[in-house]
Amino acid sequence: MTNPLVRKLASFRQLHDGDVDLLNRICAQTRSYKAGTDLIREGEQPNDVFLLVEGWAHRYKILPDGSRQIIAYLIPGDLCDIHIFILKEMDHAIGLLSDARVAAISKAEMQRILDDHPAIAQALFWATLVDEAVLREWLVNMGQRDAYARIAHLFCEMWLRMEQVGLVTGREIFLPLTQEQLGDTIGLTKVHVNRVIQRMRSEGLISLTDKTLTIHDAEKLREIAGFDPNYLHIVHQA
Amino acid sequence: MTNPLVRKLASFRQLHDGDVDLLNRICAQTRSYKAGTDLIREGEQPNDVFLLVEGWAHRYKILPDGSRQIIAYLIPGDLCDIHIFILKEMDHAIGLLSDARVAAISKAEMQRILDDHPAIAQALFWATLVDEAVLREWLVNMGQRDAYARIAHLFCEMWLRMEQVGLVTGREIFLPLTQEQLGDTIGLTKVHVNRVIQRMRSEGLISLTDKTLTIHDAEKLREIAGFDPNYLHIVHQA
DNA sequence: CGATAGTTTGATATCCTTCAAAACCTGTGG
DNA sequence: CCACAGGTTTTGAAGGATATCAAACTATCG
């Protein structure tokens, strides 16, 4: 099993052996956490950049009335913001959605990597820009699509991102989300999410049980979603 | 009238005289454009970073079915992404909402600034992170708030951002948006935007005519929106 | 095996859209 | 200075997508 970060960065540009070694070394020093743990809370100023090596996480915000908005999903190979140090405090939290393995990279170490490994630095910037592009696409998703297309779009995106890091097995991906969390992601209630997913199931598009999403008809799902993967800026497939 | 970029960056950290001079020099070399001009189109790879010195612009995407989502507003002092060069092509367009003055900074020039002026570099990174934070907050806005609160929230944000660059006169800001554009920003139809705005007017909260937004009761508007400005990461007021 | 979290169902309410037309601006050319 | 064209705002009526509430059912986990 290859390092997900290497796989991801390699889908943007070639890396030298030295670069790959460094990334492997970083990913080797992980800590395990339980699902539900917060890596960073709103209001904190973190000391490390976190790299997710295994499992899922999410960025989220809780509003005063208790409602929650999920702002991003992190999957293996994803980092919380590289430049996190510049801001005085976090304006959102990052929490684990499944049991996970996480590498912590100190500010100094991060700086050293950026200085000494220009290829990695460039690839990490690319990853940052892609994160932003994903955020923009989520906004489009919420603003312009109905519930059915919205969920389809999210599934298409997560499928591609998982594929990028080598985590698609057959037509299945690990998707450790409750329907309520799905709803908090795309601005729908869990009840409505449930009905839409049932419809997708009955139409033979997907299965979703045991935290496993199976896409039976990817082509049709993409069509429903109006999915155009260009925003993920995947350059060459590994 | 102070340079809006200097004002904005100064709200994050102090700058040296040399830094300020440089920024002033950049802002002095502008070109004027008419409202409706696209600075960058989807699919292009731009050669310059654009800095908006006067007027409003917006990032937007057009979907295959013709619908449009506005992803961000740019006001004086805002740059289109500093690292735009890393991506092979734009996944969205940037267009002017009003007549505007724009400075173009070449890739090489940008690189020189980042290398030779660490304080500016850091401030520009901060600005980038804030842009991303705004995007996240827009997602929260769309996902969790109803039409009334959504519009209120947008008005609160734009008011603060305009204040940050010294463009609030009394209780008024320049807001060159049609109700349809407002709708494309927050995922509502122009008809519904119209009704919400009428309600705000009738309640004495705001006026909106002649591309001028007046906020009569900022406190109440913030309360309706559930507006918490922390995501703008304004450190010290100039 | 009981407790707790997650999914499913049904009935009803509401926010927002859609469609269509009228009224109102704003700029332009005669 | 008027008239007209095109864009923008406003109004009304009706329909639809999604929310809300409440309860039953089903997994999961210690």
pLDDT in tens, A59-110: 999 999 999 999 999 999 999 988 888 999 999 999 999 999 999 999 999 9
pLDDT recorded at residue B1: 60
This prediction's pTM: 0.97
Residues of chain B where predicted confidence (pLDDT) is lower than 50? none
Residue range A4-129, CATH number: 2.60.120.10
Q: Are B77 and B7 in contact (CB under 8 A)?
A: yes
Report the alpha-carbon distance of residue B76 to residue B84 in Å, rounded.
19
Per residue in A159-197, pLDDT tens? 999 999 999 999 999 999 999 999 999 999 999 999 999
Per residue in A121-164, pLDDT tens? 999 999 999 999 999 999 999 999 999 999 999 999 999 999 99
3-state secondary structure of A54: strand
User: In A11-23, which positions are buried (b, 16+ CB within 10 angstroms) versus exposed (e)?
Assistant: bbeebeeebbebb
User: Residue B101: which region, alpha, beta or left (left: phi > 0; alpha: psi -120 to 50)?
Assistant: beta
Q: Give the A:B interface size as CB pairs under 8 Å.
A: 105
Interface test with B, best of A58, A139, A188 (most B CBs within 10 A): A139
Per residue in B48-75, pLDDT tens? 999 999 999 999 999 999 999 999 999 9
pLDDT recorded at residue A149: 98
- Minimal Cβ distance to A235: which of B64, B88, B235: B88
Per residue in B74-87, pLDDT tens? 999 999 988 888 99
pLDDT recorded at residue B237: 57
Residues 17-56 of B with CB under 8 A from A: none
Using a CB-CB cut-off of 8 Å, the residues of chain B touching A81 are 129, 132
As to burial, measured by CB atoms within 10 angstroms (0-12 exposed, 13-18 middle, 19+ buried), residue B148 is middle
3-state secondary structure of A7: helix
Q: Is the pLDDT score of A218 beyond 90?
A: yes
Which uninterrupted H or E stretch holds B80? Answer: none
- Minimal Cβ distance to B91: which of A63, A226, A230: A230
Which uninterrupted H or E stretch holds A104? Answer: strand A100-106
**Chain B residues 153-192 within 7 Å (CB) of strand D:** 178-180, 190-191
B64 touches A: beta carbon within 8 Å: yes
Q: Phi and psi for B101 in degrees, rounded to 5?
A: -115, 130
Report the alpha-carbon distance of residue A201 to residue A195 in Å, rounded.
10
Q: Phi and psi for A67 in degrees, rounded to 5?
A: -75, 150
Per-domain residue ranges for chain A?
Answer: 4-129, 143-232
Report the alpha-carbon distance of residue B121 to residue B14 in Å, rounded.
13
Q: How many other C-beta atoms lie within 10 A of the C-beta of residue A76? A: 25
- Minimal Cβ distance to B129: which of A83, A142, A235: A83
B138 touches A: beta carbon within 8 Å: yes
DSSP A169: B
pLDDT recorded at residue B82: 87
pLDDT recorded at residue A84: 84
Residue range B143-232, CATH number: 1.10.10.10
Rounded to 10°, the helix B118-144/B17-28 angle is: 70
pLDDT recorded at residue A236: 66
pLDDT recorded at residue A207: 97
pLDDT recorded at residue B2: 80
Using a CB-CB cut-off of 8 Å, the residues of chain A touching B228 are 64
- Pairwise CB contact (< 8 Å): A233 & B187: no
Identify residue A93 by its one-letter amino acid code. Answer: A
Sheet holding A38-40, edge to edge: A38-40, A93-96, A57-62, A68-74
Using a CB-CB cut-off of 8 Å, the residues of chain A touching B151 are none
Domain B4-129 and domain B143-232, same fold? Reply is: no
